[in-house]
Amino acid sequence: MHTLFVTVDAGGNLPPALGVAREIVRRGGTARFLGHEPQRAAVERAGFRFTAVHDGLAYDAAAPRSTLSGLRDLTAVFADRGIGADAIRLAREEPTDVVIVDCLLLGALDTVRQAGLPTVSLVHTLFSFFEGEARGPVGAILRLRGIRMRPILSAPELSLVTVRADFEPPRRTPFPASVRHVGPVWQDPPRAAEPAPGRPRVLVSLSTTRFPGQERALQRILDAVSGLDLDAVVTTGPSIDPATLRAPANATVHRHLDHAQVMPTASLVIGHGGHSTTARALAYGIPLLVLPMHPLMDQTAIGRALDRHGAGRMLSRTAGVGTIRAAVTDLLADGPHRAAAARLGTDIRLADGAATAVDLLETTYEHTRPATSTPPSD
């Protein structure tokens, strides 16, 4: 199977796409990526060809923005049809059996599908979150930009949701038949965490996308763990300069550090509720403390799912130092949250969502080949 992935610089949306692409290549297919320039290094490091958007809007998720400008810029990218035009051009330059489009890129998703190319939506968080957003302020802004979320999201023949189905909130009606929950895509070899003896290790990582107030929230977390009998490993990503933070003696702060170096021996993860980091921690059986960084993102919904499963706790991003400290102390202790996280981890490690996703791709599109490419003229 020859595939083109169309992605957006939004942080945790990239690991599931890379995981599915690896599985396609493992089975003898090909995968290449179209996205925003800040994604190039991660995609090429993973071994895939990368093309930056040309007709589409440029975007850098780590650039500082206010709440208003962030919403404006994000919805512009979500509605951008230029990325779809780029995808159509690339798909016709060489054999392409299916174009797999990030669900956030609604304009591209609609443009590619209407061009007649086999089009799959890759949904890297709760599908129900987008159903709700269609009725909220993001949906209203997108309608002003000519994008109607619900019809576009329901149009693809296949929507691959890289989330556990039981993370979705209870609902009265089933999802459309095209929506298939494949489960989390493994980012690391499947194994349970084995905390080192002695002081517990805590991983602290907020979003790689920059949100207003994120630096202040991270500083309160650092102040909260100060003096506790633990070792904190903090990663800031491109959004926050480690030099701007006051780190206590029991914390080390890194701009970039692969979480695979920390999670296998971690006892707790403190994050913002992004599904990528959350699923990665749960795959190890590690409970989480979640402080959502943006009220209009999926982070609160992920925090609520953790609460329902009993595998973590959610606090406000403005939670005080004392509140965070008490939650960290409680979550590091033995209790039902540890057993719940361990149960989820065992279940997640049974099957890689990437393998399930590619099974569905092969089943759905085995009759659409040969590839939808335009041969070069003589």
Q: Is the pLDDT of residue 215 over 90?
A: yes
Range name among 112-116, 149-153, 207-211 with the lowest pLDDT average: 207-211
Residue 372: predicted pLDDT: 45
Residue 375: predicted pLDDT: 41
β-strand partners of 298: none
Q: Is the pLDDT of residue 371 over 50?
A: no
Band of pLDDT at residue 367, cut at 50, 70 and 90? low
Q: Is the pLDDT of residue 196 over 90?
A: no
Q: What is the pLDDT of residues 287-303, one digit of tens each?
A: 999 999 988 889 999 99
Residue 297: predicted pLDDT: 87
Nearest to 250 by CA among 202, 295, 215: 202
Residue 68: predicted pLDDT: 84
Band of pLDDT at residue 277, cut at 50, 70 and 90? very high
Residue 368: predicted pLDDT: 54
Q: Is the pLDDT of residue 369 over 80?
A: no
Average pLDDT over residues 49-78: 92
Band of pLDDT at residue 78, cut at 50, 70 and 90? very high
Q: Is the pLDDT of residue 376 over 70?
A: no
Q: Is the pLDDT of residue 312 over 70?
A: yes
Band of pLDDT at residue 373, cut at 50, 70 and 90? very low
Q: What is the pLDDT of residues 89-147, one digit of tens each?
A: 999 999 999 999 999 999 999 999 999 999 999 999 999 999 988 889 999 999 999 99
Q: Is the pLDDT of residue 377 over 80?
A: no
